[in-house]
Amino acid sequence: MEQRHFSQQALSEWMKHDGPDSDIVISSRVRLARNLRRHPFPMLATSSQSEEVMKQLIEIGKSDQLAQVGKFETIVLSDLNELERRVLVEKHLISPNLANDSRGGAVILSDNESVSIMINEEDHLRIQCLYPGFQVQEAWGLAGRIDNIFEEKAEYAFDEKFGYLTTCPTNVGTGIRASVMMHLPALVLTQQINRILSAITQVGLAVRGQYGEGSEALGNLFQISNQITLGQSETEIIDNLYGVAKQIIEHERAARSRLLTESRLKVEDRIKRSYGILKYAAIMDSKEASQRLSDVRLGVDLGLLQEVTPTVMNELMVMTQPGFLQQTFKEKMNPETRDVRRAELIRKQLRGQTEFGGA
């Protein structure tokens, strides 16, 4: 994998494959937060201390044990420009926090980009595993295997009473954050979403937008994740998320069936209007693009729209983001220019054109 391969294609290799219930669950993710004993946590570390941690963890990343998991490449964040870091965020390969403060930061990426090992983010080490569709248990299995490799070679900050010690108190304990990214348009259209989301928060889960804490749930995409990391085992946390997500999938399927039975013509009209606007609009802001793409994705999943494939929809989710737009057209853009270029890109993608020219 060439070091800047990530910025050339919108879709990571793992996103090109279907997973269980992939019409509703876009992806499953497990992230583990770890820190090294006898080293200041990143927020208190000097540049030299951060550099020392980075070198140690990168060296572990070159081990034969990790090579048995897959092929990996290390990217030092200071080697990337601001736009390249932004593209990594938009592809969910690093966090906004690591992109904004790359001092002593790095990421170890698998060749298919399903594994992202962040160094000197909020914690010394954050191991992230991504799977297509509803595969949170599989993601946990891989994350645990990689965690064991690092724990064998680095001494973690661990307390017998509190578990793994982390910068943020909400991660203390198991240090695990498990989540599923779900597309729930039918629950929104049938006005059931608020009731469902309220019930989710009452069972110890959190609901966020697609970029995590503080982000808006655009395009009917909701990230459902655990809130509790202390007092429960990793298995209990994963099982709880799995059980709740399974119920949400069933509710979304029931809502989609209801739409087809009771409001088919109205829903079909909405979907095809959005498809027409996406195919011919000259200006498109990110919020409208997210909503129109959600409508079209629903049409594809319901079999009401045959002209578009799920892969194209997945590509457009990433390609219409500000960083990737600028990378694609190879020009720095103000918001107004981005809206014009976004519309152009969507038009070309929906017509099967893949060449994009810069200004």
| 207 marked as binding residue | no
* 38 annotated as ligand-binding: no
Q: Which tokens is 262 given? A: 């009771």
- Tell me if 214 is assigned to a ligand binding site: no
Asked whether residue 358 is marked as a ligand-binding residue, the answer is: no
181 is in an annotated binding site: yes
Q: Determine whether the annotation assigns residue 30 to a binding site.
A: yes
Q: Is 210 labelled a binding residue?
A: yes
The response to whether 4 counts as a known ligand-binding position is no
User: What HEC string does 199-266 produce?
Assistant: HHHCCCEEEEECCECCCCCHHHEEEEEECCCCCCCHHHHHHHHHHHHHHHHHHHHHHHHHHHHHCHHH
Residue 176 in contact with residue 191, Cβ under 8 Å? no
Beta bridge partners of 173: 164
CA–CA separation, 73 and 94 (whole Å): 14
* 213 known member of a binding site: yes
Q: Please state at what angle helix 234-262 crosses helix 264-280, rounded to 10 degrees.
A: 100
39 is in an annotated binding site: no
Q: List the binding residues.
A: 27-31, 92, 126, 177-181, 208-213
Q: List the binding residues for ATP.
A: 27-31, 92, 126, 177-181, 208-213
